[in-house]
Structure 1
Amino acid sequence: MGDMMAVTFRSIFEVTRAEWLGGLGIPEEDIPDVVILEGSWWRAERQKARLQHLTDVRELGFPDIFWGRHGDKKVVFCMAYGAPRAVEVSQIFAQLGCKLVIQIGTCGGLQSHLAPGDIIVPDVIRCEDGVAEHYVDGATINAAPHWIARAQSALQTRGRTVYIGPHVTFSSLFAESVEMYEYWHKDGLLSVEMESATTLAAAAKYGVPGVSMVVVWDELTAGRRFMDPMTPGALAELEISNEAVFAAALTLTEEVT
């Protein structure tokens, strides 16, 4: 075989600051203070509702990533369903130097005292999503204690029931089994969803703090999944809390220095 040409491989970790800014189409001064991610099937509905609370909104060079302002703070918002998408947004802006990453969305409750509309603010998150493990040493990622406390306060001020405790991020809603639920339940985990561990782990790799606020939808210990009917009262609580987590995220944004 003749001489082989030299091949140079490049990782996404080697993309330069200038390249990211160029791809996003923003100057240095528009690097966001806060990045808010939300995981939901109802992308168009949620996106429209969230962006109306920001000003000077524009879509950046990469699709579905929106830049805007909340008061004097710069915010990026993205509907990012699942860890493989969430990691991209979190990593890009943490690498660029944002100050806080916030994950919101819904979750399945793993303890019987949890009801639709209750809000989980995880402190320790198990990384079982297949992505976060590439960003952490070990099997868990911790949310930032200061921002946990501030999130709890912002949510309780809005009359929401808040639980702080252990949580798990798993790879796929459809791949979860009853055996998994039983194991997580017996292990004392409060809830399960698909983005928080990776969002926070990617941010932490670059020294950026993160916090998650997820609303209980599924009552897994009662065998009720999101496809099953809810009482009008439970549905109302779910909707109120879905609004409250974004409002609380904006409150935290105001507190970033």
Structure 2
Amino acid sequence: MKLYGEFTKLDWLDALGIDENKVPTSFIIHGEWNHEENLKLWKETLKNEMLLPKWNAVIGKYNQKNIGFANVYGGPMATNIIHQFASIGTELFIQTGYFGGLSFDVNYGDILIVTEAEMNDGVSQWYLPNNKSVKSDERIVNATIDYCEKKGYKYVTGSVLSTSAMLLETKDIVNDWALNGHFGVDMETATTLAVANKFNKSSISLLNLSDHLIQGDTIYSYTKERERIEAETDEKIRDIALYLSVNASLF
């Protein structure tokens, strides 16, 4: 009898109930607790030949490519998707979601193209035990920058710290993270990059500024203007994620 770490590709295909020709070439991993709204949106986007391998995931066709989307919250949920789909052949994982700002060089409406993540999430260390940080795929980062330049999207590039305990954040903790040079803090990026790296798959993280911690903003001090900017930035990030997914083989 096998345990999970001993499963082969065929074991995971069987467990997921997916035919090999339905395996997505890319998977978008979105970090947010509001899964119902996000799944509804992506079910509409990927409605061609759509299938639902998990309660929080959808796979479908977009421009003739098999693409997956999953809504996760925190590293353990992200791992559950990436480990299994990397095992059956998905080649590119794109983390999307939100980050708390740690730098005055980033503003609401900027897309943070993450180049590297510090591994304080409690999950990534199991996949890369000798690492303290993990990088996004440089080719995918460069392709994203080129696309943002072409589309006129505002962006910054830099590192994040990934944690699993956001409600313990204090001004002193946030200032320490900022002094380490991080642009932001999130909950999933290090996990996504590390698990993909473990399976020799490509990965990147594209994040939206939700709460500018270094300025004292929280997710509970939203304004109508912040909500508007966040929604517009989400739309741009979805556009980038689809572009990368469709063109992944070219990078």
CA deviation map 1:70-127 (0-9, x unaligned): 1121011110110010011011111112110100001111012322221111111100
- Residue in 2 that maps onto 1:244: 236
Q: Which residue pairs with 1:169 in the alignment? A: 162
Question: Rg larger in 1 or in 2?
Answer: 1
Letter in 2 for 1:31: V
Out of 226, 229, 233, the position equivalent to 2:222 is 229
CA distance in 2: counterparts of 1:79 and 1:121, whole angstroms:
19
Tell me the TM-score normalized by structure 1. Answer: 0.91
Aligned-pair CA distance for 1:231: 4.8
User: Over the residues paired in the alignment, what is the CA RMSD in angstroms?
Assistant: 1.5
Stretch of structure 1 that moved more, 51-60 or 195-204: 51-60
Please state if 1:254 is matched with 2:243: no
**Contact preservation (8 Å) 1:121, 1:163:** yes
246-255 or 153-162, which deviates more: 153-162
Q: Which of 21, 26, 30 is matched with 2:18 structurally?
A: 26
Question: How many residue pairs end up in the alignment?
Answer: 247
The residue type paired with residue 94 of structure 1 is A
1:177-219 alpha-carbon deviations (Å, 9 max, x no partner): 3222010111110011000110111111110010000001111
Q: 2 CA distance for matches of 1:223 and 1:176? A: 11
Aligned equivalents of 2:101 and 2:148: distance in 1?
A: 18
1:229 and 1:79 mapped to 2: Cα distance? 22
- How far apart are the structure 2 equivalents of 1:215 and 1:143? 16
Amino acid in structure 1 at the alignment position of 2:75: A
Partner of 2:213: 220
2 CA distance for matches of 1:157 and 1:244? 13
- Tell me what 2:4 maps to: 12
State the one-letter code of the partner of 1:200: L
Between the aligned partners of 2:90 and 2:156, the Cα distance in structure 1 is 27
Check conservation: 1:155, 1:245, Cα contact below 8 A.
Answer: no
The one-letter code of the counterpart of 2:122 is G
Say whether 1:119 aligns with 2:115: no
Hey, what does 2:60 align to over in structure 1? Answer: 68
TM-score, normalisation: structure 2 = 0.93
Q: Which amino acid aligns with 2:213?
A: L
**Sequence identity, in percent?**
26
The aligned amino acid for 1:210 is: S
